[in-house]
Amino acid sequence: MEQHLVRLRRRRCERCGSVVPRARLICMPYAGGSATVFRPWREVVPSDIDILAVEYAGHGSRIAEPLIERIDTLGDAIADALQFEAAVPYVMFGHSMGSLVAFELCHALAKRRAPLPILLVVAGHRGPHEPAATAPVHAAPNAQFVAHLRDLGATPPEVLACPELLDLMLPILRNDFHACETYCPPRRPPLPVSIAVYGGLADAETDRDGLLAWKRETSVRHVLRMFPGGHFFIRESAARVVAMLQRDLTDALADRP
């Protein structure tokens, strides 16, 4: 489990030292991202919620490992590694590429008859069966690909300006864009999991109709939340996003049978 999930915070009982979370939040990063992008959430998510973040192979602390170029393979690998405590409910959160990974992870867990999350939160990505609004860029020439990264605003300017850092990051980013742009999930029954969809009001990558398409992927509850900002609204409107996530998590806990 620890190879795939980085524990950003674990709550412990001050009296006995045992782990006593009210819930767990499992986070999946965007293309090129590592588990550390969720580290700031430790300061704003309530202390009775464990925070874990997925570290994809070939990223962050696992940079020496081979990259995985398929979303479904990533979902299966994480599902194989997860260990569950049945008494602890959990929520999945994914942004952009992470939304697809979280979606495939849910299906992989359902196939294994493993405990499912009480809520799936997908952010910054159209429904998995919706066609892309833009042409693929994973195989574009470097100048065009870097220009796209600059427009998205995720990659730090210092990385884009440093040839050595760019040489390190480009294979990872191209791999992740390839995984997303070639992803073609099969038709399957909707998940028996509520889905909350988060989007940026100024996100040129994903429009409202694309976000609403997630409604077809759940047999339970679906809700759409829009926030100020572009594709990386989870940073631009971080406080609002985390506050809404807390509210949606609390509602999901209250809805448990």
CA dist 210 and 56 (Å) reads 26
In DSSP notation, 186-229 reads PP-PPBSS-EEEEEETT-SS--HHHHHGGGGGBSS-EEEEEESS
On the 0-12 / 13-18 / 19+ scale of CB atoms within 10 A, 223 is middle
Q: Of 203, 246, 208, 204, whose CA–CA distance to 225 is shortest? A: 208
Which residue in 34, 96, 194, 237 is the catalytic one? 96
CA dist 33 and 175 (Å) reads 12
Q: What is the largest CA-CA distance in the chain?
A: 58
Q: Of 129, 125, 115, 173, whose CA–CA distance to 148 is shortest? A: 173
CA dist 217 and 25 (Å) reads 21
CA dist 219 and 140 (Å) reads 38
* Residue 96 among the catalytic residues: yes
Give catalytic residue positions.
96
